[in-house]
Amino acid sequence: MKILQLGKFYPIRGGVEKVMYDLMSGLSARGVDCDMMCATTEGGSRIETLNDHASLICCDTMAKAAATMISPKMIYALRRVCHNYDIIHIHHPDPMACMALYFSGYDGRVILHWHSDIIKQKYLLKLYKPFQDWLLRRADIIVGTTPIYVKESPFLKHVQHKITSFPIGTDPWDMKKGKPNYVRESYKDKKIIFSLGRLVEYKGYEYLIDAALHLPDDYVILIGGTGPLRAKLQTQIDASNLNDKVKLLGFIEDKDLPFYYDACSLFCLSSVFKTEAFGIVQIEAMSCSKPVIATIIPGSGTYWVNAHNESGLNIEPGNSQELANAIINITSDEHTYDRYCRGARRRYEQHFTYNKMIDNCLNIYNRVLTQEGDSN
Instruction: Give the pLDDT of residue 372.
Output: 58
Instruction: Give the pLDDT of residue 375.
Output: 46
Bridge partners (DSSP) of residue 250 are 224, 225
* Percent of the chain whose pLDDT exceeds 90: 82
Confidence of residue 66 (pLDDT cuts 50, 70, 90): low
Q: Tell me the average pLDDT across 339-349.
A: 98
Instruction: Give the pLDDT of residue 376.
Output: 46
Q: Tell me the average pLDDT across 57-72.
A: 77
Give which of 278, 292, 339 is closest to 194, Cα–Cα: 292
Confidence of residue 69 (pLDDT cuts 50, 70, 90): confident
Question: How many angstroms separate the CA atoms of 236 and 210, rounded?
Answer: 9
Judged by average pLDDT, the poorest of 4-13, 94-103, 133-142, 228-237 is: 4-13
* Percent of the chain whose pLDDT exceeds 70: 96
Q: Please, which residues have CB within 8 angstroms of residue 109's CB and are 6 or more apart in sequence?
A: 86, 87, 88, 140, 368, 369, 371, 375
Reduced to 3 states (helix: H, G, I; strand: E, B; else coil), residue 156 is: helix
pLDDT one-digit tens code per residue, 323-339: 999 999 999 899 999 99
Q: Are 330 and 311 in contact (CB under 8 A)?
A: no
Instruction: Give the pLDDT of residue 120.
Output: 74
Bridge partners (DSSP) of residue 207 are none
Q: Which amino acid makes up residue 293? A: I
pLDDT one-digit tens code per residue, 232-270: 999 999 999 999 999 999 999 989 999 999 999 999 999
Question: Which pTM was predicted?
Answer: 0.90
Question: How many angstroms separate the CA atoms of 311 and 352, rounded?
Answer: 13
Q: Which helix (H) or strand (E) element contains residue 209?
A: helix 205-211
